[in-house]
Structure formats: C-alpha cells, structure tokens
Amino acid sequence: MTNIVVVGNGMVGYKFCEKLLTRPGLAKNNASETDGGRFILTVFGEEPRPAYDRVHLSAYFSGTSADDLAMAPAEWYADNGINLRTSECITHIDRDARIITTHTGETVSYDILVLATGSAPFVPPVPGVQKDGIFVYRTIEDLEAITAWGDQATKAVVIGGGLLGLEAAKAAMDMGLETHVVEFAPRLMPRQLDTAGADMLRQKMEALGIRIHLSKSTVEFEGYNRVTGLRFADDTLLEADMVIISAGIKPRDELARQAGLEVGPRGGIVVNDLLQTSDPSIFAIGECALHGSMIYGLVAPGYEMADIVATEVASVITANDATGGKTFTGFDMSTKLKLIGVDVASFGEPFCEQIPHRTLVYEDKLAGVYKRLNITEDGKHLLGGILVGEAESYNILLQTSKNRIVLPPTPEDLLLPPRKGDAASTSSGVMSLPNEALICSCEGISKGDICSAVTDKELSDVAAIKKCTKAGTGCGGCVPMLNDLLTETLKAQGKIVRKVLCEHFDHTRQELYDLIRINGETTYSDVIRRYGKGHGCEVCKPAVASILASVHNQLIAQQAVIQDTNDRYLANIQRGGTYSVVPRVAGGEITAEKLIALGVVAKKYDLYCKITGGQRIDLFGARVDQLPYIWEELIEAGFESGHAYGKALRTVKSCVGFTWCRFGVQDSVGFAVEVEERYKGLRAPHKLKGGVSGCVRECAEAQGKDFGIIATEKGWNLYVCGNGGAKPQHAQLLASDIDRETCVRYLDRFLMFYVKTAEPLTRTATWLNKLEGGMDYLKSVVIDDVLGLNAQFEAEMEHIVQTYQCEWKSVVENEDLRNQYRHFVNVDEVDSTLAFVPDGRGQKRPVDW
C-alpha cells in the first residue's frame, strides 16, 4: 500500500488527484488492499473548502457563488476514496522519517509527497500596509472581505497593472467604486504587451472610467487605523478609502526551505524534468515549482505538471517503470483574456527581443484595435504576437505559430479584419492543423483527440466534447476552436450541420420563422406544442416571442410569461431596480411644446434626465407602478414608445441637412423622420439603428449604423450592416445615387431579409460577415431579386407598417395589462428599498451597491 500525501488543494492539487484516478488500474481508490485498493491518498488544504476555479474568481462579483466555482464537491473526494482535510496547515516535513506534521500536531506518514502549495500575493513592504481597508486579491475569503468593505467605500485603488490587477479593478468598478490602477512599470501588463498595445489597453480602460497611474512607486499608505490614501515617491498623493494589492506572486516554498529542499535564489522549489525536488520522493507542481529558473503562473502549465507527476506516481503504485517518457520541458505562456470586456492576448514570442525577426503591425485607434505579428526574416513562419481589442484570430494564430505552419505569401492578411463573407476561413483553417496540435492547453487535448472523440463517440455539440475530453473546461479560451472542429468534422462525415435554436426545438430560427408565418401560431405554447418538446428555456422563449412579434406585429407584452424584464414592462430596468422611459423622437426632431412636456413629466415624477447618443431624451428612475401614468401623460403630449427596451428599431439619427446647414445637399431630417416612422416597432433578431446625413461630412455617423443613408448631389447612398458598440464595424455601400422611393424599397427588402434569416441576437454586421457571398450576394438579393422574394419582402414590410401600434398606448388602454405594473402581486405597496442620492450636478442617482 502506497501512502500519497498532497499538500495544497488548489486547482493544480485537485488536477493531480483527478489525473491519478484516470491511470489504468487506479480508477477507484479504495484504502484497503483486501478491497482492491493499492494506495492511500490524503489531501491537505489550508482553505475551508475544496478546490475552486481561481481563474474565474472575478465572476464571484457578478453573482457566481463559491459552490459554482468549485472544481468538485466534497462528495467527489469521498466517492473516490480521497481523504480530504480542509482548514489544515502543514508545518513540518521530516524527510528521514517521511512524516508530515499539521498545525494541530497530528502526524501523517507518506511514501510519496506532492507539494502543490501554490503561491501567495506579493505584498510590498510599504509603511502602513497593515492598515484597515487594504486587501489582497487571491481567495474567496479575500473577495468576501473586499465586498464587505466596499459597501462603505467610495474610491478604490488597485496596486498592480498586470492580469490579476486589472481583474481586481473590474471587481472594484462592478461595486460602483471610483477605480484607480497604480502600476510601477511605464505600461500596463508589461510581461504580455509592448508599449503600443499597452497604450491601446490603457485608452480602453480609461474610456470605461478607470484611472490609470503609470511609473508610480508607493512609499506610504496614509491614514490612522484605516487607509486614506497613497503617497508616491514623487511626493504626490492619491486619496483612497480602499486598496487592493495585486503586485505579483511569490511561491509558497516555506515548507521546502524548512525541510532542506533546494530552492531558487528568488524563491521556488527547484524541480527536474519529472518535477522531482532534490528529494526523489517529493514532487512539486504548480506555482511553487521552479523549473529551469522559471515560475509558471498560469493554470495550463500547472495542469501539465500534475499530469506528469500522476504518471510517475502511478508507475510507483503499479510497480511499472514504463512512464511513457513524458517530461516537463517548459510551457508556452500564451494567453487570451477578456479584461473588463476588452480582448487581450499574447502568444509565442510577443517581443522577440533576442530573435531576428520582422514585425507587422495593424492599429485602428478609432476602433481601439492593436495587432502585432512577429515573423521570421524570410517571412515563412509566425513567431508570436500581441492582440488588443480584437482577438478572434488568437487560436488559429497560436496554432500557426506553435506548429510552424508556413505563412501565406501576404502574411499581413492575418492582421486585417475578416473580409465580409469570409466567415469560413477560421473553421477551415483549424482543419489544416496537424493532429498533434494542442487545442486545449489546460487539459493537454490535441486536435486529433477532439476529432476522434467526435467521430468515434458520435458527439454532436461542444458540451458533449467538454464532457468526453475535458477540453474547454479550464480557461475556456479554446471553445471557439472546439466549435469549428466539431462543425468541420461533422461536415467531413457528410452530416448536415444545423444550428438549431436550442435543445427544445430541432429547427433553426429561420425554419421556425417560416413555419409560424405559414401556419399562423400566435402563442409560445402553440409553437412548442407543435414544433418543439419540453417546456422551453431562456434561449428559445425570447427568440420565439421575437418571431411572433416580427411575423404578426402583435403586442409583445401579451407574451409576458416568456419575456425578459425589459420586454415585459416595456422599459429598461436600471441599477437600483427602477426603470428608464425613452419616448420616440423621430430623426431627433422635437418641438418646443414636446420639450416642455418632457420637462413637466420629469419634474413631476422626479426623474433623472439624459440626452442619449441617438438624439432622444432618457428619463431614469421611474418605479414600475409609475410607468403607465408616465406613459399616459407622454402619449397625451404626442409621444409614443421609443422601443429602447426591445430588439427592434431604436433610432434614426440625423444631421440638420440642407434646411439649415450651409453644406447640406438634401433634407436629411425629413428623410430620417420618414424612415423612422416607417420602421418603428419592427421586431428583429437584434436591435437596429439608422442614420441619415445631409452631405458627405457625415454628421449623423450613418456609416456606423445598421443602415445609413448619405445625401449626394444626385440622390442618396445607402449603406448597410455597420454597428458601433464593443466591436465597431463600418457599414458597406449597397446602392449609390438612388432616389428616396428606391432607397425605402431597398431598405424594406434588406430589413425583411435580415429579420427572416439572422440567428437570435445577431447584429446586422455579424450577420453579413457570416453570409455566404457577403455583400455581393446581398446586393443580388436586394437589388437583382435572385431569390424572387422581393415582392414578398415588400408586402410583409407593408403589413408591419400598417399594423403598427404603440405598445405603451396599448398597455395604458388595456386594464388587464395595466394591472400587471406593480411591485408585488398581492398588494399595491411600492418597493420601500428604492433609494437615491444627489449626484452633485443637480440630479439624482441610485445609492451605491
């Protein structure tokens, strides 16, 4: 019987246990030889809970619970015969006797000892660091303490502009705190990004409201018992009532030092290629291990170490010396993350400081995108690169680099945004990778493993791949590539790949749309009874509701049982639990009387007022029970719903055009009003925005909209499929120098084609990117009528126009619907927890969370 002791129950310690149990003959560990057991496995963890996912720790602030983050429940350890000891600290190792001692004085013997003690946050020895309000960002307990303190704080400073520091900044921002990041280096993420990439990231962070302070050295934390600010070496002061330190890590090697194991000059337990320490019976894995003078701070190399040691330990247990020759020879530190909604990635050799190379750079400051590729001097191979703001090509670029795939004759094409209609390039590219290409670095799963699993076990979705191979269950960065491999493997088998709506419908959205249009179902219950199964889910319910509204143009509030909060109450729910009211202001044109009416309503109901980017006035802070009364007064003043809550037409922005502007050549306001009045209420797979500019100066920013119309001397140019937001994209020219009637006719066809064929929650830009044939095909449909459906498109749009109803007015005039607008179903009381504070600018805002 072999006694195995693991010290440390983090992600890597857990992974060692999991990997050991997958070895032949060790699938079930019974701690008794008479029961067939061959080893005793005891795991010690300092924290009070089993291992949890530290990679996604920040999700705790957005509602993910500690149980959700757990790698496995305590029952998993028990079911597999593992003796899990939480809340226990190992204080001593007796190598001669092969005994460890816990903090309670208990001793446990071992034959093999695995140190998975991980790392601790590095806390700089700055005077005052012990003050209240100063935290590290490492464990769930740390996050609980940060959350509790954040309730009374207003201004947080994060020390450290690396990966974890920016995650901590996101957490502080999510708590509603004014957030600052202080970095000692002259740029953010200095180990992953070059100066240009870091500058782009900084701009994006600052645009989100996070203040960045670079080249700053903290010399003192000010305050008496609790922190009040940071004093820097340049004698400047940054006030703060909360500080989160994320300035790096230091390996937990104190046990190894006590036991006389070899450690590195700057810390870390020295290991060989088998992860053995200077004592062959003791292994070290994860962030405590120093291999080749390198500490690996990512989970993927830790998992690789766990796998290698599991193989070695299994060979000892089974008395089998055949280890397969697998050793640890270093690990690629490529990484892709989404930091506060911003894609950031680096791979291969991001800097190439000592390697001859050529550098290709793509930079779009307007869109906030920076890409750098380092290629060999002969231009044949990719060495590495950096991606900021857009990293969809990360996986294929990483594999191109790792597998020494020969680059195309024009490697600069790899930097450019994907061409319209070229959506298949990534998926087909992944199939050109060799079978040994490592797709999931966290779990060490190759392309061949995944394709074989899809083929041999007849897997049909990514969830099944995850369950079967564990690929995609670590950081999740490889999931898009898993989807591409699944699709292409199924195609290679001659199987039809259909993106059905969800598990409750064996139909695509387009198929359901056509079925409902032809057969006339008007409720979700009818649709699922006839075409689906089960009771539905959060994916198919809103999608079907949107289809019903698109086809029949009926009041979506009548489908309230299957709608999200915004559609149910025809208003956007906001922070604090109140709602915003956005009346339609077609083309941004409004009379003085209507302006006065908005002011009267806002004052009466004490609403916060904000002019939106779509040339409307947003009124915030309405209670749900107040909504019908507010709408009633607005309707009386001539307003109607602006559909700001729906997947529908929002606004058609306009400049003043030739009626006032000396540069204008056409009546942009009149045309914008006409177009918005025509398409108001049109329900679509995603929200729609338009713009009309009176000349090429483009003051309405029409080329950044789902459809944009720009005046010319001869008529109008029509652009389609642009959008702003997180991934801006310019619209493309559909037709030029056309008259107003033709422009509207083309818009009818384009919008109905999009409504009928796009997948749920797909913007027009993404829809066009995936449309086979791209803009050329779209022109042939809309202008040349290659499908022969334009007459139908125009008739369907005319039906939408003729059956339009203001959803607010319909609720106000329907007593049953109006009665649904209450906080509680059984009493008429209002929500007493709603609270506001002055914002310092003459208005109000919700209290901090």
Tell me the three-class secondary structure of 66-90, residue by residue: HHHHECCCHHHHHHCCEEEECCCCE
> Is 609 known as a binding-site position?
no
Choose between 434 and 243: higher pLDDT. 243
With a cut of 90, say whether residue 255 has pLDDT above it: yes
H or E segment to which residue 809 belongs: helix 807-812
Identify the band that residue 27 occupies on the pLDDT scale cut at 50, 70 and 90.
low
With a cut of 50, say whether residue 424 has pLDDT above it: no
pLDDT at 256: 96
Tell me the mean pLDDT in the region 132-152: 92
Q: What is the identity of the amino acid at 741?
A: E
Choose between 240 and 412: higher pLDDT. 240
Q: According to the per-residue pLDDT averaged within each range, which of 377-391, 488-502, 819-833 is highest?
A: 377-391
pLDDT at 423: 40
With a cut of 90, say whether residue 563 has pLDDT above it: no
pLDDT at 429: 64
pLDDT at 561: 57
CB atoms within 10 A of CB 191: 14
Tell me the mean pLDDT in the region 524-552: 87
Choose between 207 and 707: higher pLDDT. 707
- 107-109, strands of its sheet edge to edge: 90-94, 99-102, 107-109
With a cut of 80, say whether residue 426 has pLDDT above it: no
Residue with tokens 């959803």, as numbered in its chain: 807
Tell me the mean pLDDT in the region 358-363: 91
Helix axis angle for 627-636 and 592-604, nearest 10°, is 160
**789 Cβ contact partners less than 8 Å away, ≥ 6 residues apart:** 753, 781
What sign does the CA torsion over 790, 796, 802, 805 have? Answer: negative
Three-state SS for 176-208 is: CCEEEEEECCCCCCCCCCCHHHHHHHHHHHHHC
Q: Supply the pTM of this predicted model.
A: 0.62
Contact predicate 129/221, CB 8 Å: yes
With a cut of 80, say whether residue 47 has pLDDT above it: yes
Contact predicate 655/628, CB 8 Å: no
Identify the band that residue 560 occupies on the pLDDT scale cut at 50, 70 and 90.
low
With a cut of 50, say whether residue 34 has pLDDT above it: no
Residue with tokens 């937001």, as numbered in its chain: 725
pLDDT at 28: 56
Cα 256 to Cα 270: distance, rounded to the nearest angstrom: 10
With a cut of 90, say whether residue 472 has pLDDT above it: no
Tell me the mean pLDDT in the region 284-313: 93
The answer to whether 2-119+251-317 and 123-247 have equal CATH topology is: yes
- Tokens read off for 311: 């193989």
The vertex-81 CA angle with 78 and 83, nearest 5°, equals 70
**155 Cβ contact partners less than 8 Å away, ≥ 6 residues apart:** 177, 178, 180, 239, 240, 241, 242
pLDDT at 741: 97
With a cut of 50, say whether residue 446 has pLDDT above it: yes
> Is 17 known as a binding-site position?
no
With a cut of 90, say whether residue 60 has pLDDT above it: no
pLDDT at 337: 78
H or E segment to which residue 838 belongs: strand 836-838
- Least confident stretch, 146-160, 485-499, 510-524, 729-743: 485-499
Contact predicate 15/55, CB 8 Å: no
Identify the band that residue 35 occupies on the pLDDT scale cut at 50, 70 and 90.
very low
With a cut of 70, say whether residue 513 has pLDDT above it: yes
Write out pLDDT tens, residues 168-207. Answer: 898 888 888 999 999 999 999 998 899 999 999 999 888 8
Question: Which CATH number fits the domain 572-802, given the four candidates 3.40.50.360, 3.40.50.300, 3.30.70.890, 3.30.413.10?
Answer: 3.30.413.10
Q: Where are the domains of the chain?
A: 2-119+251-317, 123-247, 422-497, 572-802
**417 Cβ contact partners less than 8 Å away, ≥ 6 residues apart:** 390, 729
DSSP per-residue string spanning 445-476: EEHHHHHHHHHHTT--SHHHHHHHH-TTSSS-
- Residue in 112, 47, 135, 110 with CA at minimum distance from that of residue 84: 47
Tell me the mean pLDDT in the region 3-28: 89
The SS3 of residue 247 is coil
Long-range pairs of 358-361 with CB within 8 A, sequence gap ≥ 24: 360/411, 360/412, 360/414, 360/415, 361/196, 361/415
Percentage of the chain beyond pLDDT 70 is 94
Q: What is the CATH number of domain 2-119+251-317?
A: 3.50.50.60
With a cut of 50, say whether residue 20 has pLDDT above it: yes
Tell me the mean pLDDT in the region 394-414: 84
pLDDT at 324: 53
Mean pLDDT (the chain) is 89
What's domain 422-497's superfamily in CATH?
BFD-like [2Fe-2S]-binding domain (1.10.10.1100)
What's domain 123-247's superfamily in CATH?
FAD/NAD(P)-binding domain (3.50.50.60)
Identify the band that residue 421 occupies on the pLDDT scale cut at 50, 70 and 90.
very low
pLDDT at 559: 66
Q: What is the identity of the amino acid at 151?
A: D
Write out pLDDT tens, residues 634-664. Answer: 999 999 999 998 899 999 999 999 999 999 9
Contact predicate 688/706, CB 8 Å: yes
- Least confident stretch, 83-87, 253-257, 558-562, 798-802: 558-562
Q: What is the identity of the amino acid at 70?
A: A
Percentage of the chain beyond pLDDT 90 is 59
With a cut of 50, say whether residue 422 has pLDDT above it: no
H or E segment to which residue 164 belongs: helix 163-174
With a cut of 80, say whether residue 87 has pLDDT above it: yes
Tell me the mean pLDDT in the region 812-823: 87
Q: Tell me, what DSSP letter sits at residue 805?
A: -
pLDDT at 653: 96
Choose between 322 and 783: higher pLDDT. 783
Tell me the mean pLDDT in the region 115-130: 94
> Is 661 known as a binding-site position?
yes
Tell me the mean pLDDT in the region 431-439: 81
Tell me the mean pLDDT in the region 811-820: 88
> Is 695 known as a binding-site position?
yes
Cα 582 to Cα 586: distance, rounded to the nearest angstrom: 12
With a cut of 80, say whether residue 62 has pLDDT above it: no
With a cut of 60, say whether residue 495 has pLDDT above it: yes
Choose between 692 and 553: higher pLDDT. 692
Identify the band that residue 562 occupies on the pLDDT scale cut at 50, 70 and 90.
low
pLDDT at 197: 93
Write out pLDDT tens, residues 269-298. Answer: 999 999 999 999 999 999 999 999 999 988
pLDDT at 484: 83
pLDDT at 29: 52
With a cut of 80, say whether residue 340 has pLDDT above it: no
